[in-house]
Amino acid sequence: MKRLTFFLVALLGLGVVPAPAAAATPMQIFGAWHCSDDFCTWATVRSVAQFDSQNHWLIDRGDGRPSVNLVVLSFVNPLRLLNQTTDAGNLNGIPRGMNTDIVNYFKSRGIRVMFSIGGFTYADDWDTALASNASLLGQRAAAMASQFGVGVEIDYERSTNPNLTGLQAFISAYRAVHPYDASGSDHRARLTIDVAAGDRYLIDINRKATADWLRTDAPVLDYANAMVPARQPSASAAQGHWQEHVDGKSNYSPPIPPLAPAKFTGSLYVAYGRSPLPECTNFSSSVQKAVGPYVQTVAPNGAGTTPGMLGLMFWAAERPATRGIGTVPPNTCEGGMGAGATAFSIAIPMPALRQS
């Protein structure tokens, strides 16, 4: 300590002032996509007791506090929602497992709930639904939000020639029912979009969203989720992806503008493959711990004024794939995401989000 003090005094005597540490902004979003027990179809009605037996870690990190402040139930098929399909797995276009009991299981603990429309499997159905009646799809998404008191996530994974005109009509129709709410108090008004991990995939959707829907001066969507890449990234790779959003791509034609750090989250895997990930079981050796300082301090570079991304999302709770162990007992995630929620001092319920 004496040696450090002498060094600092010497620097000041030479007129050299050490650079201050970057300001840290607390994470506001710490959430998980949720795939139920049937690999993201949510086709089966489950009792609350049985659901809790597989998912209790989400509402209790070990001390009675939730491990997350957001869950995104994934996925609603956009074409079935448009057509109000009722069959073995859906009721009026909504998966039967996404019911009020499950929504209230989370909301009663202060955890915000959203329904995700789409996913890679349903990209063709997004195309068909948007071409058929994009405005009606937006209205029916808004009605779904009203029915369950949830927000809606747009997961339209079309990398080539996405129907951006139709997607604009969908968003406009939704916002006509549930206007943008900066306070976050109206859960139904939370409307978000998924973009790629960086700027080099889903390019057209990312460009449109960044330029027109995620502006800090005239916001339309609340924020974007920078999705997971093909496999769990290293900390440096994850930060490289996210920095692309912050910087934009001025060399693209047309360019992708910079995205304000306050307008997106980064994503990591919590379940991948046949062995537990540190994201689930061991926070001290996890990627989330390693990227935490970056997520909380990354500086704007052309958009926004405040440092730090909104937070982190994790793919995905319970059974996201037919292969792999998921996050069910005995591989639950109190020691990973639960410990992360403690380390990052995640607010529950979620506070009003930064707007710039």
Q: Which residues does 118 contact at the CB level (< 8 Å), separation at least 6?
A: 75, 76, 78, 125, 126, 154, 155, 156, 157, 194
In eight-state DSSP terms, residue 123 is H
In whole angstroms, give the CA distance from residue 187 to residue 191.
9
Residue 224 counted as domain residue: yes
Residue 1 counted as domain residue: no
pLDDT of residue 275: 86
Paired residues of 314 in beta bridges: 32, 268
The pTM score is: 0.93
Residue 74 counted as domain residue: yes
Mean pLDDT computed over 88-115 = 98
**Domain coverage including residue 57:** 27-343
pLDDT of residue 273: 84
Mean pLDDT computed over 98-110 = 98
Query: Under a CB-based contact definition with an 8 Å cutoff, are residues 331 and 325 in contact?
Result: yes
Q: What is the CATH number of the domain that holds 180?
A: 3.20.20.80
Residue 76 counted as domain residue: yes
CB burial string 276-293: b at 16+ within 10 A, e below? bbbbbbebeebbbbebbe
pLDDT of residue 274: 86
Mean pLDDT computed over 59-86 = 98
Residue 356 counted as domain residue: no
Q: How confident is the model at residue 323 (pLDDT cuts 50, 70, 90)?
A: confident
Closest to 28 in 3D by CA, of 295, 322, 208, 232: 295
Mean pLDDT computed over 188-196 = 98
pLDDT of residue 50: 98
User: What share of the chain has pLDDT > 90, as a percent?
Assistant: 91
Query: What does the mean pLDDT of the chain come to?
Result: 94
With vertex at residue 207, the alpha carbon angle to CA 204 and CA 208, rounded to the nearest 5 degrees, is 85
Q: How many domains does the chain have?
A: 1
Residue 192 counted as domain residue: yes
Helix (H) or strand (E) holding 296: helix 287-297
Residue 185 counted as domain residue: yes
pLDDT in tens, 40-58: 999 999 999 999 999 999 9
pLDDT of residue 22: 63
CB burial string 70-96: b at 16+ within 10 A, e below? bbbbbbbbbbbbbbeeeeebbeebbbb
Query: Under a CB-based contact definition with an 8 Å cutoff, are residues 56 and 81 in contact?
Result: no
pLDDT of residue 21: 52
pLDDT in tens, 258-311: 999 999 999 999 998 888 999 999 999 999 999 999 999 999 999 999 999 999
Residue 19 counted as domain residue: no
Q: How far is CA 325 from CA 53, 234, 245, in A?
A: 16, 21, 32
